[in-house]
Chains A and B, each alone.
Chain A
Amino acid sequence: MSELLRSEGLRRDAPAVPDDDGGPPPIVARTTRALVRGSGRLGRFIVRKWRTSLQFRVVVTTILLGLLVVGLLGTYLFRAIGTGLENDRIHASQLDARRQTTQAVASFQSTAATSIDSLTNSAKTILNGLAGPDQTRYVVFTRGLRNTNSRVLGSIGLPDSLISRSLREAVSADPSRQHTQVIQIDDPAGGSRVPAVVVGSQIDLSLVGPYDLYFIYPMYSETLTLERIARSFLIGGFILILLVGAVAWVVARQVVVPVRRASVVAERLAAGNLGERMSSRGHDELALLGTSFNAMADGLQTQIHQLESLSRVQQRFVSDVSHELRTPLTTIRMAADLIHDSRNDFEPGIARSTELLHNELDRFEDLLADLLEISRFDAGAAALDTDPTDLRAVVDKVVSATGSLARVRGSQIQVLQDGTSAVAEVDPRRVERILRNLLVNAVEHGDGLPVTVHLSGNDTAVAVVVEDHGVGLRPGEASLVFNRFWRADPARARTTGGTGLGLAISLEDARLHSGWLQAWGEPGAGSRFRLTLPRHTDSPIVTSPLPLSSPGLRRRT
């Protein structure tokens, strides 16, 4: 009974498994993979959760690590308890077997049997007395392996096939000692196999020679105890895992919630709500995060406000200068017009000066207008006034307006269009300005060669490509052409009255439409400018209907 009591005590201790650190668990990855394989949708959900939720990851990792630790620890304790129980049982069995054997030897000595039959009968009686009550002990009595006596007892009790050959040999080899072995026997009460302790020793019967006496002690109660312990371990471990998971969830939440809040606040900040701040209470690390975050936001806000006011002052200045210049310029303009109208009355030098004055005033005016336009874009004051417009009509209008310049330059302007519709929601005034800029540029840089205007549309966009065969663009220049006051070749003599702001304004106009304006060119082969505009202001361009580059653009020979 002492073993049983001890094992009871152990069982009570079982839930108090100490928490211990486990090594990196390969089981985590394997389990995750298994889950993914398990069910497509659930798997995808878990994978997404795993990627997006720190809290989920912490909880899952903790649970998996907990499982590993509890599993390893449980297995170790279970083994230790099992071994202890078995050893106790072996020890007790050996004591009991010795006592019983001594008693049996005494009984045999007290019999006065002289024939085989009477000895067999006596042995039966003695062995029946040895077999324990209620199946706690079985007895096998068999002839020793090295017994050379010619007389043999009849079969008594259980068959010797229950005893392993190795034990029997061990007993015969060293008959003076007890020999013990643990074996599996079929539960005579039915059901599964059960471990049992076999203790064997030899009795020398004068009539028939040495006989082996084996006691088999099935470990029913120990098996039952171990089963109970295992069940307790499973339940305890399960509860422990749940507990650990819950703790991890709470802890992770304490960290994750402020981080999520920080992310929301940061997003609002990025969206332009510069007044957005985090609440930071206490003195812990998370409060520190809040404080640092707010300090950063303060710094950003100050910087942005400074830059904004600086930029506002500058834009205001450009705008004011442009405006203030306009009134005196008007007077000069009118005076120059008046003088210009009567230039025929002047001597040639003065007449020519008048013409120069008149022409340069035009250029000055254009420059001023463009500067003002750019300052309006910079100030964000440019507004889009859209109307469903057929770009074909706009192209025709611009082509005819550029006709006189093209004739002077000797260029022919050709319009190519496929059958697609070119109607889009655009600001016709701005689109006309873009196309006029592109076409005038193409004619001016086209070296008198034909200029082609391509027009096409698709589901989302309408595109116009203006192509010339002039000097073209060197590598890297395609992005520079839209810079303010940029010139391809500073040394090149300026022959036309461009302000240097035309393409910059065009780019701003295109951007205002959420459209694209791009340039492509090859030195000596020509250049292409592509304007792509969305058909509807609220739906973005997917692809442009026309290619930007043209491999067909051949170098001039």
Chain B
Amino acid sequence: MKGSVLIVDDDLALAEMLGIVLRSEGLDVTHVANGSEAVGVFREVRPDLVLLDVMLPGMDGMEICRRIRAESGVPIVMLTARTDTVDVVVGLENGADDYVVKPFKSQELIARLRARLRRTDDPEPERLEVGDLVIDVAGHSVKRNGVRLGLTPLEFDLLVALARKPRQVFSRELLLEQVWGYRHAGDTRLVNVHVQRLRSKIERDPEHPEIVVTVRGVGYKAGPS
């Protein structure tokens, strides 16, 4: 696995341990312990992925997440000790792509990071059409009438996963596995939140979606119902 990861965590022991594990996977690791320095370091390093602890001194993890997302589509994975509904949803709404709940297993973390970093591998040239959108998989672009829509890599992956098999209904669990790299059952709210975000960018009327359609009781599918 290639790529660089920025770890933002005030717990030095955990950060060091993360560094050891990630380096052993072949990743470049940069560490910043103070929240207020995190955005500056991010601009300097330009990592391929940010691993962000929610509880930080200096600046709140949520705030850092929002600021980084404002200027970059870089994958952000949050580390959280809380599984309380509100915290997780707030984090996801602030732009995090995924979250890992402490304590986690190294294998689980690496699987998730791998899913987020997968796009850096060279994909086959592929062109997909769904509704009035044209997706260039290799070029990581989505266009409507020639106008490029700005999606984060995760949103792009989600759209591509759905668009590759139009009219097939994807359960939330299947999407978690394919897009987020979950190996066991995960939090399906992750899918809901990101589908909402994706819709707000690609649908003409997000209240009445036509591209990513909900199939009640089952999941989602691409294309008209």
Residues in A lying within 8 Å of B, measured CB to CB:
323-324, 326-335, 337-338, 365, 368, 372, 376, 381, 383, 387-388
Which residue among A326, A368, A381 has the maximum number of chain B CB atoms within 10 Å of its CB? A326
Which residue among A334, A365, A381 has the maximum number of chain B CB atoms within 10 Å of its CB? A334
Closest 4 CB pairs of A and B: A326-B102, A330-B103, A326-B81, A329-B103
B85 CB within 8 Å of chain A:
yes
Report chain B residues within 8 Å CB of A329.
102-103
**How would you classify the secondary structure of chain A's contact residues: helix, strand, loop or mixed?**
helix
B84 CB within 8 Å of chain A:
yes
Alpha-carbon distance between A470 and B159 when the two chains are bound, in angstroms: 51
Asked if residues A337 and B103 are in contact (CB atoms below 8 Å), the reply is: no
Asked if residues B14 and A323 are in contact (CB atoms below 8 Å), the reply is: no
Asked if residues A337 and B81 are in contact (CB atoms below 8 Å), the reply is: no
Alpha-carbon distance between A326 and B80 when the two chains are bound, in angstroms: 9
A-B contact pairs, 25 of them (CB 8 A): A323-B81, A326-B81, A326-B102, A326-B103, A327-B11, A327-B102, A329-B103, A330-B103, A330-B104, A331-B13, A331-B14, A333-B103, A333-B104, A333-B105, A333-B106, A334-B17, A334-B105, A337-B21, A337-B105, A338-B106, A365-B103, A368-B103, A376-B84, A383-B85, A387-B217
Cross-chain pair count, CB within 8 angstroms: 52
Asked if residues A335 and B17 are in contact (CB atoms below 8 Å), the reply is: yes
- Do A337 and B13 contact each other (CB < 8 Å), given the known contacts A326-B81, A388-B217? no
Report chain A residues within 8 Å CB of B85.
383
- The 8 A CB mask of B23-62 against A (1 = contact, 0 = none) is 0100000000000000000000000000000000000000
Residue from B83, B84, B102, B106 in contact with A337 in the complex, judged by beta carbons closer than 8 Å: B106
Chain B residue nearest in CB terms to A383: B85
Residues in B lying within 8 Å of A, measured CB to CB:
11, 13-14, 17-18, 20-21, 24, 81-85, 102-107, 217
Alpha-carbon distance between A40 and B81 when the two chains are bound, in angstroms: 68
Chain B residue nearest in CB terms to A327: B11
Chain B residue nearest in CB terms to A372: B83
Report chain A residues within 8 Å CB of B11.
327-328, 331
Asked if residues B107 and A337 are in contact (CB atoms below 8 Å), the reply is: yes
Report chain A residues within 8 Å CB of B107.
337
- Do A328 and B13 contact each other (CB < 8 Å), given the known contacts A333-B103, A337-B107, A381-B84? yes
Report the minimal beta-carbon distance from A312 to chain B, rounded to whole angstroms. 15
Alpha-carbon distance between A436 and B224 when the two chains are bound, in angstroms: 38
Report chain A residues within 8 Å CB of B81.
323-324, 326-327
Report the minimal beta-carbon distance from B205 to chain A, rounded to whole angstroms. 25
Assuming A381-B84, A383-B85, what are 4 further A-B pairs, CB within 8 angstroms? A324-B81, A328-B14, A330-B17, A334-B17
Asked if residues A323 and B105 are in contact (CB atoms below 8 Å), the reply is: no
Report the minimal beta-carbon distance from B134 to chain A, rounded to whole angstroms. 34
Report the minimal beta-carbon distance from A181 to chain B, rounded to whole angstroms. 105
Alpha-carbon distance between A281 and B17 when the two chains are bound, in angstroms: 71
Report chain A residues within 8 Å CB of B13.
328, 331
Asked if residues B21 and A334 are in contact (CB atoms below 8 Å), the reply is: yes
Asked if residues B18 and A334 are in contact (CB atoms below 8 Å), the reply is: yes
Alpha-carbon distance between A368 and B83 when the two chains are bound, in angstroms: 13
Residue from B14, B20, B106 in contact with A327 in the complex, judged by beta carbons closer than 8 Å: B14
Report the minimal beta-carbon distance from B184 to chain A, rounded to whole angstroms. 10
Alpha-carbon distance between A327 and B81 when the two chains are bound, in angstroms: 7
Alpha-carbon distance between A332 and B102 when the two chains are bound, in angstroms: 11
Report the minimal beta-carbon distance from B29 to chain A, rounded to whole angstroms. 14
Asked if residues B21 and A338 are in contact (CB atoms below 8 Å), the reply is: yes
Chain A residue nearest in CB terms to B105: A337
Which residue among B13, B18, B84, B103 has the maximum number of chain A CB atoms within 10 Å of its CB? B103
Alpha-carbon distance between A329 and B104 when the two chains are bound, in angstroms: 9
Chain B residue nearest in CB terms to A324: B81
Report the minimal beta-carbon distance from A223 to chain B, rounded to whole angstroms. 94
Report chain A residues within 8 Å CB of B14.
327-328, 330-331, 334
Report chain A residues within 8 Å CB of B83.
372
